[in-house]
Chain A
Amino acid sequence: MSKRDSLSDIVIVDLDVHVNDTPTELAPYMDMPWRKSLEHVSNVPWRYLSIPGYSPNFAENLPLWPGGNDRLTVETPAQMKKELSDMNIDIGILFPDHLLGVAVLPQKDYASALTRAYNAYIVDKWCDKEQGLKGLIMVAPQDPEGGAKEIEKYANEEGIVGIYLPCSGLDTLWGHVKYDPIFAAAEAAGLPVLLHAATTLVPHFPFNLHQYETFFAQHSLVHSFSMMANMLKMIETGVPVRFPKLKICFTEAGVSWVPFIMMRLDKEYVENRRDIPFLEHPPSHYIKKFYYATQPIEEPENAKHLIQLMEMYEGENTTMFASDWPHHDFDHPRKVFNMPFSPEVKRKIMGENALRFFDIDATGRRNKFKVGSTAK
């Protein structure tokens, strides 16, 4: 049996693919007066994930080299379906592209309006337009109450399977109690939350990133540092204890940081447990219950080391394949599939864990919408 045949034998869910959410696309869904602003920036030339007045990432100051990655975008559900099918991916979870950077926008009303426009757009233009394309409701960290309302509004939308928490350039970390309305709404809606970062050069995020002078360096740690910072904040305020039914996934950071942060926090817990007395167990207990998306999967010389890393956080039920298509650093499913996992663990990581995480069936249908379902 060829490798390709093996890939097509199993259900593959891709936790992270990106739609090209340009200002032109979003403008019709945008509230006034902000629609005027989007129409205005529609013709502004832009670089990779960076549009002034829309999705600034403050990273335009490095020299550009020929031979770098071409910018790929996905413009339509049909294009996405074809490109994912070519990789044997059955279900793709849609994230925005430009609005990965929404957290840096200083105007609360504008940021909030952008997320509302995106949510209306993703439901109207993408979700379920091809089988297996499922969307996430995004919330603006600038407006927790508005975010909670958006979650309530779309809680019963068939094409929506979770909540995207923007992390790029985020100052007040997820886990701060001001975000409690978002976590409460997500938990009540039975929708998991997914944290996702991208490179954004602001001094507070996520530790001196602006000091690096190459994209190599900026891009190397931004995602993992961001995930660690947010995870620590969530543990510090007891999110997994206070919202026990909420499922939380950390994306686009690989997995090798998980054993590190788990052991680091358990060590600190020895001395400082009473700072966080609401935890009923050491931090590792909760970290082992969080979910993790694989991309960018580590590629150690000895592939068994990756297996060992995952064993450290007991990740066989909580690790989920993600490609990050169509970004420059995407992983083909074959890369993860060919890691020396047992066949059973392979099936879990490539798809079964994600079906459970989102509570969907192999066609992407939410179990709570099944006829006769009594699910929450």
Chain B
Amino acid sequence: MEKVAREYVVGTVEEFPVGSHKVVKVDNREIGVFNVNGEFYALPNLCPHQVGPLCQGKVSGTLVANKDTDWKRTWDREGEIVYCPWHRLEFDIKTGDCLAFPDIKIRSYNVKVEEGQIKVW
């Protein structure tokens, strides 16, 4: 998998309050940067389904139902799921996993915070 060659500063911590996300340009790539409860994550702004602008979608939670919930639908993972704005495929911001199709996982970029600056590579 191709990687962004070097670290890029994509903004300051102040620009990404908890629960926010935005798409930044790094060279000719668009990368979605997310602040999930104080942890930063970065995903390509490119949905593997039909190349929709994934990271421009809403961040929300999702519905979960399984044996533990007695098969009842429960709301879970608030703030951890990004919805593609085109056909609403859901992705786990922390892992890049596609919730609908377990075989699909998108790459994650590395992110770190240094001296108030958010760096992606």
Residues of A within 8 A of B (CB): 238, 242, 269-275, 277-278, 280-282
| Chain A hits for B28, CB < 8 A | none
| Chain B hits for A281, CB < 8 A | 102
| Chain A hits for B101, CB < 8 A | 282
Closest to B49 in A: A270
A-B pairs with lowest CB-CB distance, top 5: A273-B100, A278-B65, A277-B63, A274-B63, A277-B65
Could you jot down 19 A-B contacts, CB within 8 Å? A238-B71, A242-B71, A269-B100, A270-B49, A270-B89, A272-B88, A273-B89, A273-B100, A274-B62, A274-B63, A274-B90, A277-B63, A277-B64, A277-B73, A278-B65, A278-B66, A280-B102, A281-B102, A282-B100
> How far is A238 from B102 in the complex, measured between Cα atoms in Å?
17
A181 to chain B minimum Cβ distance, whole angstroms, is 15
Closest to B62 in A: A274
> How far is A272 from B87 in the complex, measured between Cα atoms in Å?
9
> How far is A271 from B100 in the complex, measured between Cα atoms in Å?
9
Is the Cβ of A270 less than 8 Å from the Cβ of B102? Answer: no
| Chain A hits for B99, CB < 8 A | 273-274
Residues of chain B in range 43-85 having any CB-CB distance to chain A below 8 Å: 49, 62-66, 71, 73
Closest to B74 in A: A277
| Chain A hits for B100, CB < 8 A | 269-270, 273, 282
Chain A proximity mask over B4-30: 1 for CB below 8 Å, otherwise 0: 000000000000000000000000000
Closest to B88 in A: A271
| Chain B hits for A274, CB < 8 A | 62-63, 90, 99
